[in-house]
């Protein structure tokens, strides 16, 4: 892990980002990334405008080439000097303007959980010593915006991609940290209100996001599919179908993953015993929690908690 931790002090350039994306795009068109909602793209010639769709709030970064998208009649062009943010659940046209065999178009699109935006923004507001409330009202209803790509966001992106490609604890622990840093850098880039508006709007019109927020805030409680469905005024069958369509998982599987991921974070923090962590994330049986944790992460909770001391040694 020390090699990846040292990456925090490294300076990354546009060439580093280009190399990372180039390595992950062996075929033309879309290439799946080894992370939920992450896709890489390669084109060797311009592509005429075509209809596309995003289901979730998305961050779009180009390492080489140029692209334009049209949303709600507005044209947004960007290149390696800028990035694009799109709100979810919208159709738009996309056109690749610059691409060639010698200099292929290379980019990534990363879907971002609106709840992550809200959690990071809450930390930002706390540091400003102000009370966190709803995002401020804005006259603009833009569902997309282009912003200059600065070195801090570029470096965070490179760190995230390298941690995703890593194995073991590097990936499990560091990839979520660097993803949160990417969101933080976007919030810093004079886009705090705009990104918060997009995230809040997406949550408001997406019952699945509302349920996910409820689960995260109440994971120590008993959470049944029928209770979650009733919360968004849907039948259990309709809710389960929609939930699987949006997340790719059943509500039961998703809730279990959220609980175990939170348990992992609590264990690394090292302030609670295994039994306390088990109860904090909604498990009535510690032995059942240990079995499910080991099945997901390949180690018992006690062994995983030892990672905290290892991290301290590596960072000292």
Q: Which residue in 123, 269, 289, 271 sits closest to 219, CA to CA?
A: 289
**What is the pLDDT at residue 265?**
81
Q: Quickly count: other Cβ atoms within 10 Å of residue 10's Cβ.
A: 11
**What is the pLDDT at residue 170?**
84
Do 163 and 305 lie in one domain? The reply is no
Do 212 and 81 lie in one domain? The reply is no
Token pair belonging to 280:
């904090």
- Give the three-class secondary structure for 203: helix
* pTM tops 0.85, yes or no: no
Do 150 and 22 lie in one domain? The reply is yes
Q: CA torsion sign, 173 to 197 to 31 to 65? A: negative
Do 168 and 220 lie in one domain? The reply is no
Do 168 and 212 lie in one domain? The reply is no
Residues in the chain predicted with pLDDT less than 50, given as ranges, are 1-9, 126-140, 190
Going by DSSP bridges, is the β-strand pair 66-71/74-78 parallel, antiparallel, or unpaired? Answer: antiparallel
**What is the pLDDT at residue 195?**
57
**What is the pLDDT at residue 198?**
57
Report how far apart, in Å, the C-alpha atoms of 121 and of each of 115, 127, 209 are. Answer: 10, 10, 17
Do 147 and 18 lie in one domain? The reply is yes
Residue 143 in contact with residue 90, Cβ under 8 Å? yes
Do 233 and 134 lie in one domain? The reply is no
Do 176 and 217 lie in one domain? The reply is no
Length of the chain counted residue by residue: 316
Instruction: Indicate the number of domains in the chain.
Output: 2
**What is the pLDDT at residue 2?**
44
Do 213 and 93 lie in one domain? The reply is no
Using left for φ > 0, alpha for ψ between -120 and 50, and beta otherwise, residue 24 falls in alpha
Residue 294 sits in a domain whose CATH number is: 1.10.10.60
Range of the domain at 147: 2-200
How many CA atoms lie less than 13 Å away from 261 in the CB half-sphere? 14
Domain boundary among 174, 200, 226: 200
**What is the pLDDT at residue 298?**
78
**What is the pLDDT at residue 19?**
94
DSSP assignment of 136-163 = PP-S---SEEEEE--HHHHHHHHHHHHH
**What is the pLDDT at residue 57?**
84
Dmax (CA) of the chain: 59
Report how far apart, in Å, the C-alpha atoms of 287 and of each of 20, 205, 263, 278, 284 are. Answer: 42, 39, 14, 9, 9
Do 156 and 186 lie in one domain? The reply is yes
Helix (H), strand (E) at residue 312: helix 307-315
Do 97 and 192 lie in one domain? The reply is yes
Q: In whole numbers, what is the pLDDT of the chain averaged over residues?
A: 81
Domain boundary among 177, 200, 223: 200
Do 144 and 51 lie in one domain? The reply is yes
Q: How far apart are CA 176 and CA 248, in angstroms?
A: 19
Residue 53 sits in a domain whose CATH number is: 2.60.120.810
């Amino acid at each position: 892990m020390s090699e990846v931790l040292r990456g925090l002090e490294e300076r990354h350039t546009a060439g580093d980002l280009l190399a990372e994306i180039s390595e992950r795009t062996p075929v033309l068109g879309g290439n799946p990334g080894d992370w939920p909602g992450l896709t890489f793209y390669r084109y060797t010639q311009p592509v005429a405008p075509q209809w596309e769709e995003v289901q979730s709030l998305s961050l779009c970064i180009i390492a080489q080439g140029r692209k334009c998208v049209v949303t709600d009649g507005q044209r947004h062009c960007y290149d390696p000097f800028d990035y694009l943010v799109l709100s979810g659940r919208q159709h738009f046209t996309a056109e690749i303007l610059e691409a060639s065999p010698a200099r292929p178009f290379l980019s990534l699109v990363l879907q971002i959980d609106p709840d992550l935006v809200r959690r990071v923004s809450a930390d930002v507001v706390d540091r400003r010593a102000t009370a966190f409330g709803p995002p401020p009202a804005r006259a603009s209803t833009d569902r997309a915006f282009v912003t200059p790509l600065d070195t801090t966001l570029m470096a965070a992106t490179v760190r995230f991609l390298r941690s995703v490609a890593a194995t073991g604890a590097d990936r499990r622990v560091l990839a979520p940290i660097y993803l949160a840093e990417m969101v933080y850098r976007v919030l810093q880039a004079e886009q705090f209100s705009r990104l918060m508006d997009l995230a809040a709007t997406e949550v408001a019109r997406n019952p699945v996001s509302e349920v996910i927020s409820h689960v995260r805030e109440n994971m120590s409680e008993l959470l049944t599919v029928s209770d979650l469905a009733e919360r968004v005024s849907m039948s259990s069958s309709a809710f389960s179908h929609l939930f699987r369509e949006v997340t790719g998982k059943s509500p039961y599987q998703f809730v279990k993953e959220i609980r175990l991921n939170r348990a992992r974070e609590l264990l690394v923090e090292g302030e609670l015993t295994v039994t306390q962590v088990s109860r904090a994330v909604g498990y009535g049986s510690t032995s059942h929690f240990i079995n499910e944790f080991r099945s997901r992460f390949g180690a018992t909770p006690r062994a995983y908690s030892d990672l905290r001391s290892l991290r301290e040694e590596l960072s000292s």
